[in-house]
Structure 1
Amino acid sequence: MVSTRNHPSSFPPPDLSPTTKTLTRSTRSPRKGSWAHTPSTITLLWLLASLPAVFWDTAYVLLRPHSMPNGSLHAPIFTPYALYGQVDYIYGEKAYKEHNGFTSAQASLNIVESAGYVGYLWVVWKYGEGEKRVLGGGWGGVACLVAFALSVMTVSKTVLYWSNEFFSGFENIGHNDPLSLLFLWIIPNGLWLVFPSYMMYEFARDILHGLAIASGDRSSKPARAVTPTKDE
């Protein structure tokens, strides 16, 4: 009868330590030449600055009429909207009394959009590696794709907001003098065209770079180069 009590000397005990592959996935930055998403400083700063502003704007719209002048929630949180409601009637008493649904519809999209951006920032903070928060692998791909879609959503929504004025004969803003229109409407709302458009470009470059690598084209360059670690 063959004994099975001891391992033969030619079969050493199994190695239960973590494998090199596991360590590579969890503790090391993406290797040079592999795909990775590196959030730009401009993108991160814009999101950190714009998300509170969008939350404030959305709260004002969805809490009307309580957030409007003479409403119980107006002062001090929503006091600036007393002026803005006179600059852009879509935010003022006129549109609310006429049951204009455009403002609330846009605010509802703001909730989806902002939730997605918060999720993107969480993934960057949670799974990003190094000072530049480099995201490789599955999380990097998901974060980049979602953020690109959200950027397109932001730009499209803002273009729609501007187009609504153009095709209505500037019904809500046409009463302003040029300087008031420039500083109180064009510049503030223009920021949501400039920075999200930049984000679209950056995320699209990273996505296209990943697709080029997947197709075997290593000549494609990422939007921001990934610095290899010392052990590479």
Structure 2
Amino acid sequence: MVTTRSASKAPSTPAPAHSGGSRKSGGTTASSSRAGSVSRASAGSSSPSSSRGPAPWAHAPSRLTLLWLAVSLPLVTWDSAYVLLRPWSMEGGSLHWPLWVPYRLYGEVDHIYGWKAFHAHTGFTAAQSLLNVLETAFYLAYLWIYLASSSSPSSSSDATPRARALAGRPAAIAVLVAFSAAVMTLSKTVLYWLNEYFSGFDNIGHNPPRDLVLLWIIPNGLWLVFPTYLIYVLGGEIVEGLTAASTAVSVKSE
């Protein structure tokens, strides 16, 4: 009886332990193998994102920028044409009516636009108008680059159209051109004001305070406010682009 029980246990006891142990170790090996493959896959999938550089730099003008350009460019073109076509564009000239009739009043408010400066051969009026032509060309080049090279980014999860934007070299050129034009506009306008100050307000000092504020300070002040806004916005974008570029270079060097 003892021999039979021990004989019956001998083959049966090791067998479950052996087969169970092989299955257990095999399962452990398989699970560890799967875990290793998952960790390697996750590491492989996270590696490109971790090595990916900063988001590409892009530019899109604000609505205020586009509104200002839509208002200012026709006005500056109108003003420059009046100055450069004098005396035909002035009162009594063949081109005065109807396009430049308002300058009859403005020439009395600001003598630099009137007969006084023209007869005195004051060169500042025409000189600043030539700079106006150059600035206008810069702004038009900026708009042309934006309209010709921008695209509307679309997302597969969002069908809502997004604002057109520039990217890459066209974005850099457009921002640089617009920034340069804004600096020119602000500098020329400041010079225009300083010219009056250092000449003892020779061209506008005859106006009563109300007319001076409504017809000279407010209209000319707009060309101080909005170019300053453009310089602030576009200058900030230039700094962001240079910062992103320098960061990408340092990451590559590492």
> Contact conserved, 1:39 with 1:132, CA < 8 A, in 2?
no
**CA positional deviation for 1:132:** 2.1
User: What are the equivalent positions in structure 2 for 1:116-155 lying under 5 Å apart?
Assistant: 116-130=138-152, 131-155=162-186
Deviations 1:22-71 (A, max 9, x none): xxxxxxxxx98221112111111100111000000000000000000011
SS of residue matched to 2:200 = coil
Amino acid at match of 2:88: H
SS of residue matched to 1:216 = helix
> Contact conserved, 1:158 with 1:193, CA < 8 A, in 2?
yes
Whole-angstrom CA distance in 2 between matches of 1:97 and 1:155: 28
Deviations 1:139-194 (A, max 9, x none): 00000011111100000000000000000000000000011000100000001110
SS of residue matched to 1:66 = coil
SS of residue matched to 2:247 = coil
Q: 1:192 aligns with which of 197, 216, 223?
A: 223
Amino acid at match of 2:113: Y
Q: 1:174 aligns with which of 191, 197, 205?
A: 205
Could you say which structure has the larger radius of gyration?
2
SS of residue matched to 1:215 = helix
Higher relative contact order, structure no. (Cα contacts within 8 Å, ≥ 6 residues apart)? 1
Identical amino acids, percent of aligned pairs: 57
Amino acid at match of 1:191: L
> Contact conserved, 1:127 with 1:135, CA < 8 A, in 2?
yes
> Contact conserved, 1:36 with 1:137, CA < 8 A, in 2?
yes
Partner of 2:108: 86
User: What are the equivalent positions in structure 2 for 1:13-92 lying under 5 Å apart?
Assistant: 33-92=55-114
SS of residue matched to 1:174 = coil
Amino acid at match of 1:146: V
Greater helix share, structure number:
2
Q: How large is the Cα RMSD of the aligned pairs?
A: 1.5
> Contact conserved, 1:36 with 1:140, CA < 8 A, in 2?
yes
Partner of 2:36: none
**CA positional deviation for 1:81:** 0.1
Amino acid at match of 1:72: S
Q: What TM-score comes out, normalization by structure 2 length?
A: 0.72
Whole-angstrom CA distance in 1 between matches of 2:198 and 2:90: 27
Amino acid at match of 2:57: W
**CA positional deviation for 1:129:** 1.6
Q: What TM-score comes out, normalization by structure 1 length?
A: 0.79
**CA positional deviation for 1:128:** 1.3
- Gaps in structure 2 of 5+ consecutive residues: 1-52, 153-161, 249-254
> Contact conserved, 2:54 with 2:244, CA < 8 A, in 1?
no
- Gaps in structure 1 of 5+ consecutive residues: 1-30, 218-232
Whole-angstrom CA distance in 2 between matches of 1:198 and 1:132: 21
Deviations 1:67-106 (A, max 9, x none): 0001110011000000000000000000000000000000
Q: Runs of at least 4 residues of structure 1 off by over 4 A? A: none
Whole-angstrom CA distance in 2 between matches of 1:210 and 1:168: 42
